[in-house]
Structure 1
Amino acid sequence: MTDLQRIALSTGVSLDVAITGDPANPPVILLHGFPESHRTWRAIAPDLSRDHYVVAPDQRGFARSSKPDGVESYTPDNIVADLIALADHLKIDRFTLVGHDWGGAVAWMAALRHPERIARLIIINAPHPLVFQRTMFDDLEQRAASQYIRAFRNPDLERHIESIGLETFFDTSFSKHADLAAMAEDKAAYLDEWGQPGAITGMLNWYRASAIVVPAMDETPPRPAFLDAPFPPMRMPVLVIWGMRDTALLPSQLDLADYVPELTIEKVDAGHFVPWEKPEAVIAAMRRWGI
């Protein structure tokens, strides 16, 4: 990918953004998740840029992008606002939106709130907000797999990370979800990004600011009323690419037909970090879908 451009947004943050391809071509915006950066797309953006205008930001809180103070700065509405402000800055009207992990969660919400801007949606191992919250109550296996979210919300976690060191945190963060040997050549880049002032807190604040309720395994909290109420369907075609060996987000997250009228699901033999683990499969799925 090309060198990063620093872009100041109307939302008050500045993001580092990797931009490739001809602006005259159809635009695609790529949103990374935790704990990554625009580098999530390092093996995918070059292919897309052959015939698309490709925009991949480091989202707020990550790498060297702005890290505003306070958990409230990382609520989904702020992050969706960054996306729309970035598109406006680049004079992009309607675009294809692609998101992995937290980037996919933002993409789902952006598509619900701004369907006039998002022509097509591609989700890679990221849960639909209703389906995810419902499984926190109805699928104990998914609830168990999501207990790490409770740990990430612990306000003392930064102190723990400082005590064990970033390298140990890297190993323990990815050990259950990725092939550490395959990631060895990228380790220095990750540690550099995580080592930026405020980056660990900024990344973790995405979890702390989320309204998703993750009950403890022995807890029976009140069931949110919206889980059993009508929910707006997606108004654009949606491609879901899913690594079926994901141990954090289980196949129950693919129960989407009631909420996505124009749905295509492509299953990949990969874990959670599909874009770097199996980029060729991701590209092939996108191209089959017509990107």
Structure 2
Amino acid sequence: MARLLDNLLLLTVGLTLRIRLLVYWSLVYGYCALCSGVALLKLGWSILLRPAATFRWTVREIPPACLNDTSLGTHCYVRIKESGLRFHYVAAGERGKPLMLFLHGFPEFWEFKSEFRVVAVDMRGYGESDLPSSTESYRLDCLVTDVKDIVEYLGYNRCFLVGHDWGGTIAWLCAIHYPEMVTKLIVLNSPHPCVFTDYALHHPSQMLKASCYFFFQLPHFPELMLSINDFKALKSLLTSRSTGITCKGRWLTSEELEAYLYALSQPGALNGALNYFRNVFSVLPLSQSEVKAPVLLLWGERDAFLEQDMAEACRLYIRNMFRLNIISGASHWLQQDQPDIVNKLIWTFIKEGEGRKSYRNL
């Protein structure tokens, strides 16, 4: 009798989980269909208003001067033997100093070159790094392995790892899968992957904020919608007061905006960038989800894409020291909104504890 009850209980739990999963994915794809419908209406409206301009876009052939500014560092390339991909990175600071690796680097951070070998890398699908066309090439395990391979190529076995947005997600996963590689972890506006998954599942408001995740699951159509009217949607994303930089005086200059458009207008570039989102629902097996390295999490108070409650929830997955700083008035792009504050908080964090010199290695 007891065994029968146990089997019945297991069957009930299993059925409940399957129903919950079915409902979840029905919501995901239903919302994706809704987003697609809205996008189609916008496309139709654009064709009615400006039929000649709707399907016009320009591939930028001459890079803006800021992309080749040697004062920011030395432009280098590395080809990883295992993946066969070539990666572009910019490096500053003396060789032999502790490595500080930025996943999608921010020019404001070059001040760290006084005490670190600072490297900002274009991840696969971005900038001057290779742009694989296959969606499968952007699986989370591939992206995490890229970081490990680059660190080893640079001659290091440990680094101070800094990531923002998608770079932050990859940084979290690197710290989980390769804990021995990460001395300290610094993440900007990107929650621990487990926090994001659980929070989005239980909070429809976050699902709405992350609506682009669902729209980007479609093949080809998102690339079209982002590029029509000469990348009007991308320009709006980067410059509008709701989704762009909020701090007056820090708004993108015309040259900086053109740098983004130059990179994303290259053949295959939008496809590579969106393939990150098309793998966001893929499962990266985690034997454990705790982060052993000390963690600094910086969060813009006015993030238009992520809810602030997720930042505090990350504490549950940190085994070591955890610092959380909510930066008042800052947007999702807080390193550009408040660079001085961000830099000061990072300096304070990396000088805490055991210090930098104990991690000096080649």
Q: TM-score, normalised by structure 2?
A: 0.70
For the structure 1 residues 184 and 69, does the alpha-carbon distance in structure 2 shift closer, same or farther, using more than 3 Å as the test?
Answer: same
Select 1:178's aligned residue among 238, 244, 266: 244
Aligned match of 2:73 = 2
Task: Give, as a single letter, the amino acid of the residue that structure 1 aligns with 2:108.
Answer: A
Cα deviation 1:156-209 (Å, max 9, x = unaligned): 11122333322x122222223213881123111111111122100000000002
**Residues 1:120 and 2:190 are matched in the alignment:** no
Task: Give, as a single letter, the amino acid of the residue that structure 2 aligns with 1:250.
Answer: E
SS at 2:156 equivalent = coil
SS at 2:179 equivalent = coil
CA distance in 1, matches of 2:295, 2:336: 21
**Residues 1:282 and 2:342 are matched in the alignment:** yes
Cα deviation 1:1-51 (Å, max 9, x = unaligned): 21321211122111110011012211110002xxxxx4xx1111x211111
Q: TM-score, normalised by structure 1?
A: 0.87
Task: Give, as a single letter, the amino acid of the residue that structure 2 aligns with 1:89.
Answer: Y
CA distance in 2, matches of 1:211, 1:244: 26
CA distance in 1, matches of 2:344, 2:327: 11
Aligned 8 A contact 1:177 1:273 in 2: no
CA distance in 2, matches of 1:171, 1:13: 29
**Residues 1:249 and 2:306 are matched in the alignment:** yes
Q: How does 1:166-245 map to 2 (within 5 A)?
A: 166=231, 168-174=232-238, 175=240, 176-179=242-245, 182-185=251-254, 186-211=256-281, 232-245=289-302
Structure 1 unaligned spans of 5+: 33-37, 214-225
SS at 2:100 equivalent = strand
Structure 1 residue 251: Cα displacement? 0.9
Identity %: 27
Aligned match of 2:54 = none
Q: How does 1:51-130 map to 2 (within 5 A)?
A: 51-130=115-194
CA distance in 2, matches of 1:205, 1:284: 34
Aligned match of 2:196 = 132
CA distance in 2, matches of 1:197, 1:3: 25
Aligned match of 2:108 = 43
CA distance in 2, matches of 1:211, 1:90: 31
Select the structure of larger CA radius of gyration.
2
Aligned 8 A contact 1:275 1:282 in 2: yes
**Residues 1:268 and 2:340 are matched in the alignment:** no
Task: Give, as a single letter, the amino acid of the residue that structure 2 aligns with 1:191.
Answer: L
Structure 1 residue 266: Cα displacement? 1.4
Structure 1 residue 212: Cα displacement? 5.9
CA distance in 2, matches of 1:290, 1:83: 20
Aligned match of 1:216 = none
Aligned 8 A contact 1:64 1:196 in 2: no
Structure 1 residue 115: Cα displacement? 0.4
CA distance in 2, matches of 1:232, 1:83: 18
Aligned residues: 268
Aligned match of 1:144 = 208
Aligned 8 A contact 1:135 1:143 in 2: no
Structure 1 residue 231: Cα displacement? 5.1
Structure 1 residue 142: Cα displacement? 1.2
**Residues 1:162 and 2:227 are matched in the alignment:** yes
Aligned 8 A contact 1:5 1:18 in 2: yes
Cα deviation 1:48-90 (Å, max 9, x = unaligned): 1111111111111011210112100001111111111111111
CA distance in 1, matches of 2:177, 2:263: 30
For the structure 1 residues 257 and 200, does the alpha-carbon distance in structure 2 shift closer, same or farther, using more than 3 Å as the test?
Answer: same
